[in-house]
Amino acid sequence: MENINTILRFLEFIGIKGYEAKAYITLIEIGESDAPRIASKAGIPLPRIYDVLESLILKGLIEVKAGRPRKYRALPPDIALNRYVGRYIEEINNINMKVISILSSLYKSKQVKTGPMIWITHSLEISIERMRSLIKNMKTSGFVSCNKEIFDRLANTFIKTFKRKKDVLFGVTVLAKPDEMRNYDKFLELDNIEIRVLPTGILNLFETDLSNIVILGEGYSIYSNEMELVRIVNEAYYFGYWRKGKKIKEFGVKPGLKIKSSHHWLVLDLVEEALKSNLKVKAKIVGYTVGELKPIELNGFITGVRRTSDDSIRTLFIDVDGKIMSVGGLGSSVEDIEARYLEIEVV
């Protein structure tokens, strides 16, 4: 039989090992037969053959014909193996979920922060899976700059997550030429994501909820939630990628849009577009007073947006019971309020 070693490795992988695999392949080759002949052809000791055949019957791979002597034959492989593998995968998945639940509880109980948390992994696949998990579990907002290959691998996660979580906000800068971006029609129906392209760039940056960072390097990845690194990554992304990128898919600004964001700068374009369209923008802003750093919550309507020519100062103005207050983002020093969380509703 061709590729016998490949078949044996596969059968062993799914739990059909040793004598069982030999007996099963032998029955495929010779057809209906009795136990002594199967044992002889397969090189299995005669005292063992009956236990082996019984095991194959229980696994649903062969059948038996009553009589003297009993005869055995393999069931059609496209039926028997498909059914066996399906049950095997289901059992593995069930066990896997139980093990994950137990280990996750233990893992969380042992995550005690004792110093700066910066972790390095050398597996791109693990980092991609971590990014997918962070996207699915986003609470407010995030951003990514990445090459087209990475974006394509994350695209389905973006679409499924943002269809379900319509109030989260996400900014994407793909490091590619505009004409390389094709077949992204599914993103057009998502109001809470904006996609830009930049033809040059070297940093694959990812961040969610102003707390979780993944930086993909050449052969390694960094994961952290250190606030100082969050500040650096935000500034590097905004000035190096976001403001320079060409928009190919904008946020969908329309009445009824409700958005949460922990990134002040990410809502600026959305608010500006709404105000230009003569729409009102209702806002809840949670943060700290600049200077005194006292916790504060503001509720009112956004009256305007101001940017300096170099974008170093980006300010929202909110009317709170007739008083206009200025709101900046992370690290604000000239505004009244440093925003850490914003809820925006276009009305």
Confidence of residue 320 (pLDDT cuts 50, 70, 90): very high
Confidence of residue 85 (pLDDT cuts 50, 70, 90): very high
Please state, rounded to an integer, the average pLDDT across all residues of the chain: 91
| Arithmetic mean of pLDDT, 145-158 | 94
Whole-angstrom distance, CA of residue 166 vs CA of residue 138: 11
- Residue 190 gets the label, from left (phi > 0), alpha (psi -120 to 50) or beta, of beta
Whole-angstrom distance, CA of residue 347 vs CA of residue 343: 13
SS3 state of residue 340: strand
Whole-angstrom distance, CA of residue 71 vs CA of residue 63: 9
Confidence of residue 270 (pLDDT cuts 50, 70, 90): very high
Closest CA to 273 of 194, 167, 158, 189: 194
Would you say the pTM of this structure is higher than 0.75?
no
Whole-angstrom distance, CA of residue 335 vs CA of residue 313: 9
CB 71 within 8 A of CB 64: yes
Helices (H) and strands (E) in the chain, counts: 9, 17
Whole-angstrom distance, CA of residue 42 vs CA of residue 28: 11
Among all chains, which residue has been given the structure tokens 């904008």? Answer: 250
The CB density around residue 88, as the number of other CB atoms within 10 Å, is 16
Which amino acid, one-letter code, is at 25?
I
CB 262 within 8 A of CB 339: no
Domains of the chain, CATH where assigned: 1-112 (1.10.10.10), 118-249 (3.30.870.10), 258-346 (2.30.30.690)
Strands 314-320 and 62-65: unpaired
- Give the burial class of 197: count Cβ atoms within 10 A of its Cβ; 0-12 exposed, 13-18 middle, 19 or more buried: buried
Sign of CA dihedral 12, 14, 15, 20: negative
Distances (CA, A) of 45 to 5, 120, 301, 306: 21, 53, 85, 86
For 306, residues 6+ apart whose C-beta sits below 8 A from its C-beta are 313, 314, 315, 317
Q: What is the pLDDT of residue 341?
A: 95
Residue 6 confidence (pLDDT) above 60? yes
Whole-angstrom distance, CA of residue 267 vs CA of residue 90: 44
Whole-angstrom distance, CA of residue 138 vs CA of residue 82: 38
| Arithmetic mean of pLDDT, 41-47 | 92
Structure tokens at 243: 């403001």
Whole-angstrom distance, CA of residue 242 vs CA of residue 170: 12
Confidence of residue 101 (pLDDT cuts 50, 70, 90): confident
Residue 291 confidence (pLDDT) above 90? no
Q: What is 90-118 written as a DSSP string?
A: HHHHHHHHHHHHHHHHHHHHT----S--E
Q: What is the pLDDT of residue 137?
A: 94
Closest CA to 64 of 72, 76, 56: 72
pLDDT tens digit sequence for 176-188: 988 888 777 889 8
SS3 state of residue 252: coil
SS3 state of residue 286: strand
